[in-house]
Chain A
Amino acid sequence: QVQLVESGGGVVQPGGSLRLSCAASGFTFSSSGMHWVRQAPGKGLEWVAFLRYDGNNKYYADSVKGRFTISRDNSNNTLYLQMNSLRAEDTALYYCAKDRFALIPNYMDVWGKGTTVTVSS
């Protein structure tokens, strides 16, 4: 069945780095735009980044621009989020989500269960 499984979360000190992965299955990953969305504890959803199907266009939220990098490996059906210069406010559950469109963000029709990132000293 269609599935997204995130991994790579953990506890990291402020200023540190972490790389999240999202393994996709059950659909044509190489034809799908992909998102990262996060949710801080007790807070609402916040869009983080979008990557179009071929990896050529990347869009970021202002809050992470210059610190986070979204990428993909279509040969291994995997989406990544490289997070550098982490701050306490980056603490959240990070979801990977598939977009219905390939080229620009439209809507997220498949979501993973998320992986937790905690930034703390």
Chain B
Amino acid sequence: QSALTQPASVSGSPGQSITISCTGTSSDVGGYDYVSWYQQHPGKAPKVVVYEVSNRPSGVSNRFSGSKSGNTASLTISGLQAEDEADYYCISYTSSNTVGVVFGGGTKLTVL
């Protein structure tokens, strides 16, 4: 399975909005609505912040939102806060070659 493509890093100032993209193919991101996003702080386990493209789990701030267009999914964080500084990963169900899951390479978010 090939990894989904994410930018290596993004940055923004407190209060601003940022968007992280996640590009795949029609066999994964483009073909299914099983795209989710995870936040990982250093030394901690990942935590889901968006699932099924645009749904937020209970307890996750409404500053986190997700969308998809074609083979690209996006995570937008509005009203940036210092605590948002973390690594973010997208994942998707995939039917390419074999059924399974494919991860993006991860994006380091820096809050300036």
Contact = CB atoms under 8 A, between A and B. Distances in A.
Interface of B (DSSP majority class): strand
Contacts of B105: 44
Nearest to B47: A111
Interface residues of A, number: 23
Contacts of B104: 44
A62 B51 contact: no
Kindly name the residue among A46, A104, A106, A107 whose own CB sees the greatest number of chain B CB atoms within 10 A: A107
Given A44-B106, A59-B98, A106 B93 contact: yes
Nearest to B46: A111
Given A35-B101, A60-B100, A112-B45, A107 B89 contact: no
User: What interface size band does chain B fall in?
Assistant: 20 to 34
Interface string B33-52: 01010101000011110011
B34 A106 contact: yes
Given A47-B101, A47-B102, A104-B99, A111 B51 contact: no
A35 B100 CA distance: 10
A88 interface: no
B15 interface: no
Contact of B100 (A47, A95, A100, A114): A47
A47 B67 CA distance: 22
Contacts of A111: 45-47
Interface in B74-112: 87, 89, 91, 93, 97-106
B1 interface: yes
